[in-house]
Amino acid sequence: MSEDIYIELSQKAKELRKYIILMNCYAGSGHPGGALSSVEIITYLFHREISFFPDNRNDPDRDRFVLSKGHSCPVLYGVLAQKGFFGVEEFKRLRHVEGMLQGHPDRLKTPGVEFNSGSLGQGFSFALGCALGGKRAGRGFRVYVLLGDGELNEGQVWEGMMFGAHYRLDNLVAIVDYNKYQSDDLCSNVTALEPLAEKFTAFGWHTMEIDGHSFQEIGDAFKEARTVKGRPSVIIAHTVKGKGISFMENNPVWHGSLAPQGEERVRALRECGLDDIG
Amino acid sequence: MTTMREAFGEALIELARTRDDFVVLDADVAGGTGTAVFRDAFPERFIQCAIAEQNMMSVAAGLSTTGVVPIVTCYAVFASMRAVEQARNSIAYPEFNVKVIASHLGLDVGPDGPTHQAIEDIAIYRAIPNFRVVAPADPFELKKALPVILDTEGPVYMRTGRSPVPYVFDRDVEFELGRGKVLREGMDVTIIAVGVMVHRALDAAEVLEGEGVSARVVNMSTIKPIDRELIAESASRTGALVTAEDHNVIGGLGGAVSEVVTSTVPVPVERVGIRDRFAESGDPNDLAEKYGLTAEAICAAAKRVLERKAAVSACG
């Protein structure tokens, strides 16, 4: 990866983290931890990987991104604003009546959102349906779907894993934001996911494991996925929950639907280079 | 006599010959739902989703964004309960153009028993915004309903059926979504029926006529959006209603009709259906007998409602 690209992506990621914290403060609730852990993945996807812009958002040949872990939607809203789907002023009305930005994604309200995700597991299956439909129609678009690690508790995900392998959906890439924490606790305390890579492999998926905060590794994995034929790919991206905000990192409290208050709010904003929410 | 599921399979094949805009999704029950003949005739338009109904429902939503209309088929207990949250959040809320068509309804299921006898599906789908709910009365009406629901943009849930049913209509029957149809005129009471109960309602009206009671019979094959005008007009005209459905008496056709009556023309209503209990295995006709889904049960309900109507008139 060239230094120019790396610098550009780093700036976008920094801005995206700022947007997430701003939205979190405006809304007074939300799920900042899982949004922050997926910032590099989303930044790379939208700025380097997929062909998806305001101009082609209804084009049947567009690439699709589905945020199956819908509770992390501020990261999606932030990147959609970066791409010009709507203005940053919409952030202020996140989770408020008449706002374009819902607490979980709504495709009919928010330009650029493909699916009303939030009920875990469903975005994954929806993405499989898009990928199968694309193949049936002979269209060359690719489908990317981001899952949470806790989301893998859902039986529907394992139904979908069998379906994706059976239909040889090599136009689909699933990314697991493996930040190790789910709603209440460490994933490993809730129900063991490991050995996770072996499970995906056993289900017939091309499986990669990367550092989910490394643009280089994210880019390499997407490149590798494009070479895989006859089966879907999964990228298990090891990430840090709450990444970038010191007191949120690896603290399961910040999975939940809340926003920093008082001193913590000042710190969160300061760590994003802001004095106040404006 | 033929079965609704056979009619469904035939209707799919007939339609597929003239239009290429739909695909059929199955959960390894093509023999049970009647889609096996379609699978054999149009294998490239048949998508096997395995015994994984939740994934199937959300896959259908994704497919619908790629230029085809997915028809999700399975048994009603799975369509309306196991995978209903997917139907709600993957299909209804985002308003995707997906049709859910289920067989194995009510006591018509028969010997498979209560695990497979869906007696809640109308109530459940009726309560989900954006879903329309359709239940044709016979094979001819089903064949007319299928192209109409395919041409209706947005989510639709339709009941078919498992057991042989007598014909109520001839092949020229018309189907209009959201419209009930008067099958027989009458002055004293209106029997509003759906699905397999329609022919039993017609039988009941015949018996009632012999006893001096003039019963109007309505086929209410769209339960949502329900034909409010026809219900209110029937209530005004006959002053008493009986509903009849192979479904729990809670939340189905009886519930829908009662909601309309209480906010338009309040008249006594008696609901014929399964009385909020799980049934058992058995021949569908024996079960109808035991659980009160026969023409005789409709007649008895008509007499009860006429007594209530008389009591109301006496008070008035």
Going by C-beta distance under 8 Å and a sequence separation of 6 or more, which residues neighbour residue B28? B48, B49, B50, B51
Flag whether residue B66 sits within 8 Å of chain A, measured between CB atoms.
yes
What is the reported pLDDT for A255? 82
What is the reported pLDDT for B236? 98
Q: B52 near B26, Cβ under 8 Å?
A: no
The CATH number of B2-165 is which of 3.30.930.10, 3.30.910.20, 3.40.50.970, 3.30.1360.10?
3.40.50.970
Query: Which residues of B are identified as catalytic?
Result: 53
Task: Check A131 against B62: CB less than 8 A apart.
Answer: yes
Flag whether residue A155 sits within 8 Å of chain B, measured between CB atoms.
yes
- Longest CA–CA separation in chain B, Å: 65
Structure tokens at A70: 């819908």
- Minimal C-alpha gap between B68 and chain A (Å): 8
Residue B156's DSSP bridge partners are B99, B132
> pLDDT digit string (tens) for B46-66?
999 999 999 999 999 999 999
Task: Check A116 against B57: CB less than 8 A apart.
Answer: no
Residue A120, CA distances (Å) to A110, A195, A200, B38 in order: 20, 21, 18, 33
Q: Which of B46, B59, B91 to mutate to test the interface with A (most CBs of A within 10 A)?
A: B59
Task: Check B60 against A129: CB less than 8 A apart.
Answer: yes
Task: Check A116 against B60: CB less than 8 A apart.
Answer: no
Pairing status of strand B269-274 against strand B241-248:
parallel
Q: How far apart are CA A62 and CA B43, in angstroms?
A: 28
Q: How far apart are CA B130 and CA B92, in angstroms?
A: 6
Lowest mean pLDDT of A61-70, A165-174, A237-246, A254-263, name the range: A254-263
Task: Check A132 against B60: CB less than 8 A apart.
Answer: no
What is the reported pLDDT for B2? 87
Task: Check A130 against B62: CB less than 8 A apart.
Answer: yes
Flag whether residue A126 sits within 8 Å of chain B, measured between CB atoms.
yes
Burial bucket for residue A55 (CB in 10 Å: 0-12, 13-18, 19+): exposed
Amino acid identity of B195? G
Flag whether residue A125 sits within 8 Å of chain B, measured between CB atoms.
yes
Q: Which of A108, A117, A126 to mutate to test the interface with B (most CBs of B within 10 A)?
A: A126
Task: Check B67 against A60: CB less than 8 A apart.
Answer: yes
Tell me the chain A residues in contact with residue B94 when contact means C-beta distances shorter than 8 Å.
Answer: 106-108, 115-116
Structure tokens at B63: 């497919």
B59 backbone dihedrals φ, ψ, rounded to 5°? -60, -40
- pLDDT band with cut points at 50, 70 and 90 for residue A170: very high
Amino acid identity of A56? N
Task: Check A156 against B86: CB less than 8 A apart.
Answer: yes
What is the reported pLDDT for B1? 76
Taking the domains of chain B in order of start, what are their residue ranges? Answer: 2-165, 181-315
Read off the pLDDT of each residue in A114-128 and give the average, rounded to a whole number.
98
B5 backbone dihedrals φ, ψ, rounded to 5°? -70, -35
Lowest mean pLDDT of A70-79, A206-215, A266-275, name the range: A266-275
A3: how many CB neighbours lie within 10 A of its CB? 7
Flag whether residue B85 sits within 8 Å of chain A, measured between CB atoms.
yes
ipTM: 0.97
Flag whether residue A83 sits within 8 Å of chain B, measured between CB atoms.
no
Tell me the chain B residues in contact with residue A166 when contact means C-beta distances shorter than 8 Å.
Answer: 50
Q: Which fold has domain B181-315?
A: Rossmann fold (3.40.50)
Flag whether residue B47 sits within 8 Å of chain A, measured between CB atoms.
yes
Q: Which residues of A252-264 are buried (b: 16+ CB within 10 A; e: fewer)?
A: bebbeebbbeeee
Interface contacts A/B by beta carbons within 8 Å? 107
- Minimal C-alpha gap between A7 and chain B (Å): 36
Q: Which of B56, B66, B86, B97 to mutate to test the interface with A (most CBs of A within 10 A)?
A: B66
- pLDDT band with cut points at 50, 70 and 90 for residue A275: confident
Flag whether residue B97 sits within 8 Å of chain A, measured between CB atoms.
no
What is the reported pLDDT for A254? 87
Taking the domains of chain A in order of start, what are their residue ranges? Answer: 3-271
Task: Check B63 against A115: CB less than 8 A apart.
Answer: no
What is the reported pLDDT for B316? 63
What is the reported pLDDT for B313? 84
**CATH class for domain A3-271?**
alpha beta
Flag whether residue B130 sits within 8 Å of chain A, measured between CB atoms.
no
Flag whether residue A136 sits within 8 Å of chain B, measured between CB atoms.
yes
Tell me the chain A residues in contact with residue B67 when contact means C-beta distances shorter than 8 Å.
Answer: 60, 133, 137
Look at residues B266, B261, B263 and name the one whose alpha carbon lies nearest to residue B312: B266
- Minimal C-alpha gap between A14 and chain B (Å): 32
Q: How far apart are CA B208 and CA B205, in angstroms?
A: 5
- In chain B, which residues have pLDDT < 70? 316
Task: Check A162 against B54: CB less than 8 A apart.
Answer: no
Tell me the chain A residues in contact with residue B83 when contact means C-beta distances shorter than 8 Å.
Answer: none
- Minimal C-alpha gap between B56 and chain A (Å): 8
From the list A108, A122, A133, which residue is nearest B86 (CB)? A122
User: Could you write out the three-class secondary structure of A82-132?
Assistant: HCCCCCHHHHHHCCCCCCCCCCCCCCCCCCCCCCCCCCCCHHHHHHHHHHH
Task: Check A121 against B50: CB less than 8 A apart.
Answer: no
Task: Check A125 against B59: CB less than 8 A apart.
Answer: yes
- Minimal C-alpha gap between B236 and chain A (Å): 41
> pLDDT digit string (tens) for B220-249?
999 999 999 999 999 999 999 999 999 999
Tell me the chain B residues in contact with residue A165 when contact means C-beta distances shorter than 8 Å.
Answer: none
Residue B181's DSSP bridge partners are B219
